[in-house]
Amino acid sequence: MSGNGNAAATAEENSPKMRVIRVGTRKSQLARIQTDSVVATLKASYPGLQFEIRDKILDTALSKIGEKSLFTKELEHALEKNEVDLVVHSLKDLPTVLPPGFTIGAICKRENPHDAVVFHPKFVGKTLETLPEKSVVGTSSLRRAAQLQRKFPHLEFRSIRGNLNTRLRKLDEQQEFSAIILATAGLQRMGWHNRVGQILHPEECMYAVGQGALGVEVRAKDQDILDLVGVLHDPETLLRCIAERAFLRHLEGGCSVPVAVHTAMKDGQLYLTGGVWSLDGSDSIQETMQATIHVPAQHEDGPEDDPQLVGITARNIPRGPQLAAQNLGISLANLLLSKGAKNILDVARQLNDAH
């Protein structure tokens, strides 16, 4: 039996018959699909446990103010009050410093982390390059707008809000946007592969820290649940995301400034490219660094008791590669800071706050 099987068997033997694990999620189609996929994996590992999904509905008046962070707070509140045992998030929505008492207990295998272009029906078959002059492209992300304005100066980038369904409806039914930019992973999870008109490569647009991966947030001291969700960790995704999150944390970046990354694991080397941009994309610094990191098998060295790294707890993955990934992120951030990244980010933050 594999290490994963042993963990599942042990967790089951120690659990009361048909223990119910309560899983928190947002009441949106994509959030539910993501949560269902995580629960399906857990059910396969723990057939003796029951899983109950609880939707949190956010007060609609509140949802206008930073919806994602408010949902995160609502779900953390449910965790804190012991109303749920774990919460499934898009990892890119989770800050690199979590509130005390919480940790990311698992990072699932990453789907395609790149951004995708969805075109208005009359522009299907085009690319961003071949769209007519002054075409309006919708994105709610400063990171995407900054990079794409620099790359495609003939286009105009405008903010578009709402969940995936809302944005697609705005694109199709209104004549304002020629195209919108969305995360490929979200479109794929929703089964909307046919709407992907173009996938943006790193040279065109690097992605957000953690994009394409799901994170499972739990109470930091809930050892039972930490052990239970540990089987979900995908070692390569974990190490790439530790490097990315360490880079962002050390830069003191966040959603209010354009910071982007690209990571790859090849032949025992972890490659991390990171960049910062001014809001209009005219100013930027990008660099790449690499470190020798061998992707470990789960349970290779037995449990680890060390505290979390960049908000993540992975006791069933050896500590050495995790620290090496974190150090790579910090080193790259220091390199960018030495080249003037702080000034670019400070100006971007001030301009964004002024809006």
Q: What pLDDT score does 199 carry? A: 98
Question: Which residue ranges form the domains of the chain, and what is each CATH number?
Answer: 20-112+209-354 (3.30.160.40), 115-199 (3.40.190.10)
- The pLDDT score that the predictor gives to residue 354 is 74
Q: What pLDDT is recorded for position 257?
A: 86
Instruction: Enumerate residue ranges in the chain where pLDDT < 70.
Output: 1-17, 56-71, 253-255, 297-306, 355
Provide the pLDDT for residue 86: 96
Give me the pLDDT at residue 6, please.
53
Catalytic residue among 36, 59, 85, 93: 93
Output the pLDDT for position 67.
53
The predicted structure's pLDDT at residue 56: 67
Length of the chain: 355
pLDDT at 294: 82
Active site residue 93: yes
